[in-house]
Amino acid sequence: MSPRPVPAILAVVIRDGQALLVQRANPPDAGLWGFPGGKVEFGETLLAAAERELLEETGVQARATHAFNALDVLADDGKGTLEHHFVLVAVECQWQAGEPVADDDALDARWVAIDRMEEDLPLSRDVARIARQAAALGPR
């Protein structure tokens, strides 16, 4: 069987002009800031995966409402051989309860002002763009 892309989600929570971000503990992107997220488990819906990963990584409870973007993440070994291919699906989540506390595979977790995130933190690719897109969707 040939390798296949791995489906994963990004739980995108926007509240009061801020995005909930975590600092990644593990590769890829260890040390960089991005949205809570992870692999979709077999039989799990995208929305359920977003709610689960968000709770596991930050302790924040939210209601996942819909997927609104998707990204390919391809990485090679530096010699041109593809090591992994993730398909990341951004899922809008509406905050319900809790304040972020880093857990699971996150080093830190916090609310970050969308209009300053690029200046304040080292971000994973596309984080600021996805945060602005989610904020533009407005409250639902």
Answer whether residue 111 is part of any domain: yes
Residue 124 has pLDDT above 90, yes or no: yes
Quote the CA–CA distance of 106 and 134 in Å, as a whole number. Answer: 22
Residue 15 placed within a domain: yes
**Residue 32 is assigned to a structural domain of this protein:** yes
Instruction: Using a pLDDT cut of 90, give the percent of the chain over it.
Output: 78
The structure tokens listed for 12 are 């995108």
DSSP state of 124: P
Number of domains making up the chain: 1
Domain assignment present for residue 1? The answer is no
The pLDDT score that the predictor gives to residue 77 is 80
Query: Residues, the chain, total?
Result: 140
pLDDT of residue 139: 66
Assess if residue 140 is contained within a domain: no
Residue 84's CATH number:
3.90.79.10
Please give the structure tokens belonging to residue 80: 């041109």
Is residue 89 one of the residues assigned to a domain? Answer: yes
Residue span of the structural domain in which 32 resides: 6-133
64-116: per-residue pLDDT in tens? 999 999 999 988 888 988 888 999 999 999 999 999 999 878 899 999 999 99
How confident is the model over 118-131, as a mean pLDDT? 96
Q: What share of the chain is helix, strand, coil (3-state, %, to 5)?
A: 20, 45, 35
Per-residue confidence band for 29, with pLDDT thresholds at 50, 70 and 90: confident
Decide if 138 is inside a domain: no
Inform me whether the pLDDT recorded for 1 exceeds 60. Answer: no
Cα separation, 115 vs 131, in Å, equals 10
